Chain A
Amino acid sequence: MVGEVKKLISIQDLLKNVLKDNVISIEQNKGYLDVLVPTEKLVESAKKLKDSGFDHVKSVTAIDYIAKKQFKITYHISSYLNEELSKYIIGLSTIINRDNPHLPSLSRIWVSAEFQEREVYEFFGITFDDHPDLRLLLLTPVIAALKPLRKDYVVKEESDDIEVDYVAYNTNKWW
């Protein structure tokens, strides 16, 4: 138990050394370490983390905090090649405004984030600036226009009476 705590402190120290004053807060959650950085320092932090051995993205998650009018984007990152780091999962997070949501893309740093950022884009309507190929991935424009994973989209019992956004349907060539 003592050893575990010691290790935990050392990974937190490592993150503080690497990211320095970019970090707003480091929070120990169940199964991962949540590192919150400001949106304008996201790319810089990602580059530093990649240089220190975190070589791939496991998951790109957006969470809709509708009461606070915020989105939280978390990149869960870890390492394949560095065996010591592969035991840890770091959640590189940033908070963005819910109106006109956009943040810099990390796909040019971690290629493994490319498809997952596309998924967040279509389900939440969050734009990733400077993404190499920002298109719809799973959904059709009709459904993507509804931004289905946002909290204000409520699933109806019957999906037949879904309101079709014909403008989106006609302007996007998706087939």
Chain B
Amino acid sequence: MESSTSGSVVPHLPGMEVSELSKNTYEVYIGPAHPGSGHMRIIVEVDGDIMVRVDPDIGFVHRTMEKLAEGRDWIKNIPLFERMAILDACNITLPYVEAVEKLLGTEPPERARYLRTLLCEINRIASHLYGMGIFGVFLGHSTLYMWAFGDREVFIDLAEQMSGARLTHSYPVFGGVRRDIPDDFPEGARKATRYMRNRLNEYAKIFLNNPNIRSRLENVGVMSKNLATELGIVGPNLRASGVRYDVRLNEPYEAYGELEFEIPVFEEGDSLARAWARVEEIRQSLNIIDKVVDWLEKHPRENFMHEKFWKTAPKLYKDVYTGQIDYAGKYRVKLMPLFASLKVPPGKAFARVEAGRGEMVYYVESDGKDVPYRVRVVSPSFRNVIAFKYLMPGHRLMDLPAIYGSFDYFPPEWDR
């Protein structure tokens, strides 16, 4: 690996400088200008075309969210944290909301828990489709990119119908959710899930079972169960390596404890298994959406906000929130008035949820003021990035996009 010219005395020739070469390797800088999606750089040392050392160099889109959070009202941090991954907004902010709710001691009503679950699953599908689309670009498969981004639009529309925003929903708030679903939502949701189930079979045909793609992915970037555990990998990447861990299963939150669903686990641990894990997860998420929509239809439309906050709202707000007046009418309403002056009792809370890319973790500490004392955010991509350093060496340079893409990296999320 290290061919060296040392050993003999280097001759000193007039007018010529010869320096000793210690290693016969090159450093290749990949990035930071959008190697696929989002700004990050990988510094790769190659020997021939074998990667010897890989150093992920991140932080190009860092926005000091943890510091900014210490100077904002509790409620204003929700739209702030959403900016980490706008396509996975509900999952990303949910643990923060849960942690603050633990400190406040308010439990969201049952309907709110189902509504949150619904948007979480819609976000998960959108996030996986986004990741798969980018993965397609990495492998030069532009058809998958077009398909995945086109199909993602279906779920973004669903989220828009629910929350009024395509991407940054700010849907879960302390004590509940911002509003209920419109009347025609269940019908649209069922149509979307039916459509997506058929499309997943097409995805398998054109992408996952495509011989070209399989030769790029199979047995590439194999991560054993022990290695994945040791590195603390999260999400579908962890489950593709045979570890049965999902926060929805191990510590059920919101309505997941009452719903039936499967956690797809693969044993292979290679890039192909990671891609399959996402497809199978989409399938499970579709089932969950169907079940949640059924539940929402059967139960009366009431109580999607904790009474403590709900009673502070004027009548006009309540009429708009409950759908008695058109949302897009002439009335504009704000959040519950209590949120503006919210003070959280002192304490320390820790919450985790399973976001699209994996486990999302918040540590929140309050000293009784109207701003947090400390908020620690650890996003799934941040915990996955360490895999590049330990997994990539030994592979060929051409395998880098395959491994990189299969991890569903998202720089804005891990940079925070």
Residues in A lying within 8 Å of B, measured CB to CB: 29-32, 34, 55-59, 61, 63-64, 74, 76, 80-81, 83, 86-87, 89, 91, 110-112, 114-116, 123, 137-139, 148-149, 153, 155
Q: Give Cα distance in the complex from A115 to B390, angstroms.
A: 12
Q: Give Cα distance in the complex from A137 to B71, angstroms.
A: 24
Please tell me if B258 contacts chain A, counting CB pairs below 8 Å: no
Interface size on B (CB < 8 Å)?
43
Contacts of B359 in A (CB 8 A): 58
Pick from A34, A116, A138: contact of B348, CB below 8 A: A34
Contact A89–B350 (Cβ < 8 Å)? yes
Q: In the A-B complex, list the 9 residue pairs whose CB atoms are closest, starting with the nearest.
A: A112-B232, A138-B59, A56-B232, A31-B350, A30-B349, A30-B102, A32-B350, A61-B376, A59-B378
Shortest CB distance A24–B (Å): 16
Contact A112–B230 (Cβ < 8 Å)? yes
Contacts of A81 in B (CB 8 A): 225, 229, 243
List 13 additional A-B contacts (Cβ < 8 Å) besides A29-B347, A58-B232: A30-B103, A32-B350, A55-B230, A56-B229, A58-B383, A61-B374, A80-B228, A86-B245, A87-B251, A111-B231, A112-B230, A115-B386, A149-B66
Q: Give Cα distance in the complex from A34 to B225, angstroms.
A: 28
Q: Give Cα distance in the complex from A150 to B232, angstroms.
A: 27
Contacts A63-B374, A80-B229 given; does A112 touch B386 at CB 8 Å? yes
Please tell me if B363 contacts chain A, counting CB pairs below 8 Å: yes
Please tell me if B114 contacts chain A, counting CB pairs below 8 Å: no
Pick from A55, A57, A76, A110: contact of B350, CB below 8 A: A76
Interface string of B63-99 (1 = CB under 8 A from A): 0101110010000000000000000000000000001
Contacts A76-B363, A138-B415 given; does A111 touch B386 at CB 8 Å? yes
Interface set, chain B 339-395, CB cutoff 8 A to A: 347-352, 359, 361, 363, 365, 373-374, 376, 378, 382-383, 385-386, 390
